[in-house]
Chain A
Amino acid sequence: MTDRVRELTSVLAADPRSLAFVELAEALRQRGLAREALTVVRQGLARYPALAAALDLQARILCDLGEDAQAANAWRAALAAEPGHLEARKGLAYLDYRGGNVAGALAALEELARDVPGDASVRLALATAQRAAGAAAEPPREADAQASVVFDVARGAGDGALLIDPNGLRLAGTLERSDGVDAAEPVAAQLAGVSREAERASRLLGLGAWVSAAVEGEQGSMHLVPPTAETLLVVVRERAVPPARVALFAERAARNAREWLQGLG
């Protein structure tokens, strides 16, 4: 059990009416403990049945578990509790997409893009759905995997993933440490030029082009992948998440980031 999970568990034990169950369930989900997360959020919802944030989280967990029909019900309940709930709308669009209703997903995402034009995750999801609608040649499983990443980011599960440019500036994503400190800017600044340095070292050592880099620390791990020659994607997770899984997150997110960057032109 990580410190944060232990801390939130203590808060809930001391005050079962606390809303900390939402954060605890999210922390468990992000550590890959979907069943445990579902138990926690359901216990909380028994007390707060109309809490939209908890309903949204329950839907995301169910979605992770492949329980799409139940997830849809939870997102509809979130919309009933809070009309226009953005994450619930994104989630339902994703379920349309995943269920093969690309036209439905496209319509929902176009509406979202009009309502929240500044939301990069919606733009990315819309681009993915548009490609799927226009290019049936794309293998469905691959398209689904990409969309899953898009929507994971869209729903906020992408906390801890950051895309930076060669000048050390953030292009997309967030990076929050377990103590709640926003680490995006210092990390981006410190990683400025790391792609060039890794490339140079790899070539001088006869290793060819670099593919990825990773740091395994006492409190967590960080994985770096260059989606393009000019950008760097950073994924950070706490120690409870095995470094190999962090690498998988990073590789999937890098594929997605590459598409997003291409879409930006």
Chain B
Amino acid sequence: MSGRLDTVLDGVTRVRGVRAAVLASQEDGLVVAAALRDGEDGETLAALAAALAHRLRRAGESAGTGRARFLHVRAEHGMLCASPAGPDLLVLALADATANLGLVRLALLQAVEETR
């Protein structure tokens, strides 16, 4: 199981500029599996991203956007992306600002499919 998830996450980190890919629990932001580069901290990423994603998803649902498929936060030096994998899990990616958001999005959605 773990080997398969590692392979799925490796597919995300193959996108240029992606520094970390993590599968985490939505509820409490705990790491289920991770593919990390350059000493990235998967636990911090999972905890912070899960909390933020939870808030954004709820607001989106209230606004009528329906069930979330993809979320991202852009910042000066990078971006944080997330995609819910079923009701319990989130696939996360931390990427440089120069990464192609469209490719990261496709990689996350593909990873979600492969975790089913």
Q: Do the two chains belong together in a single complex?
A: yes
Which A positions have Cβ atoms within 8 angstroms of B? Answer: 175, 177-179, 181, 183, 186-187, 190-191, 194, 197-198, 200-202, 204-222, 224, 234, 236
Given contacts A198-B52, A201-B52, are A216 and B68 in contact (CB under 8 A)? yes
B44 lies within 8 A of chain A by Cβ: yes
Complex interface: chain A residues within 8 A of B11 (CB): none
Given A210-B74, A211-B76: 6 more A-B contacts, CB < 8 Å: A198-B52, A200-B48, A208-B75, A215-B60, A218-B69, A219-B65
From B44, B60, B80, B94, give the contact of A217 (CB < 8 A).
B60
From B68, B69, B73, B78, give the contact of A198 (CB < 8 A).
B73
B8 lies within 8 A of chain A by Cβ: no
- Kindly list the 6 A-B residue pairs having the minimum CB-CB distance in the complex, ordered from nearest: A219-B66, A208-B76, A217-B65, A177-B64, A207-B75, A215-B60
From A178, A183, A205, A210, give the contact of B62 (CB < 8 A).
A183
B55 lies within 8 A of chain A by Cβ: yes
Task: Report the Cα distance A187→B56, complex, angstroms.
Answer: 10
Task: Report the Cα distance A202→B70, complex, angstroms.
Answer: 18
Task: Report the Cα distance A213→B66, complex, angstroms.
Answer: 17
Complex interface: chain A residues within 8 A of B58 (CB): 190
Given contacts A187-B62, A201-B49, are A217 and B75 in contact (CB under 8 A)? no
From B64, B71, B78, give the contact of A216 (CB < 8 A).
B71
- Max chain B Cβ within 10 angstroms of own Cβ: one of A198, A217, A234: A217
Complex interface: chain B residues within 8 A of A224 (CB): 56
Task: Report the Cα distance A183→B75, complex, angstroms.
Answer: 27
B1 lies within 8 A of chain A by Cβ: no
A222–B59 contact, CB under 8 A?
Answer: yes
A sample of 21 inter-chain contacts (CB < 8 A) reads A187-B59, A190-B55, A191-B59, A194-B52, A194-B55, A194-B59, A202-B76, A205-B48, A207-B79, A208-B78, A212-B74, A215-B56, A215-B59, A215-B60, A215-B65, A217-B68, A219-B64, A219-B65, A220-B64, A222-B60, A224-B56
B45 lies within 8 A of chain A by Cβ: yes
Task: Report the Cα distance A236→B61, complex, angstroms.
Answer: 11
Given contacts A197-B52, A207-B79, are A187 and B74 in contact (CB under 8 A)? no
A190–B62 contact, CB under 8 A?
Answer: yes
Task: Report the Cα distance A191→B61, complex, angstroms.
Answer: 12
B80–A222 contact, CB under 8 A?
Answer: no
Complex interface: chain A residues within 8 A of B61 (CB): 217
- Max chain B Cβ within 10 angstroms of own Cβ: one of A198, A216, A219: A216
From B59, B62, B65, B75, give the contact of A202 (CB < 8 A).
B75
Q: Which residue of B lies closest to A190 (CB)?
A: B59
Complex interface: chain B residues within 8 A of A205 (CB): 44-45, 48, 78, 80, 94
B51 lies within 8 A of chain A by Cβ: yes
Interface bits B66-104 vs A (CB < 8 Å: 1, else 0):
111111111111111000000000000010000000000
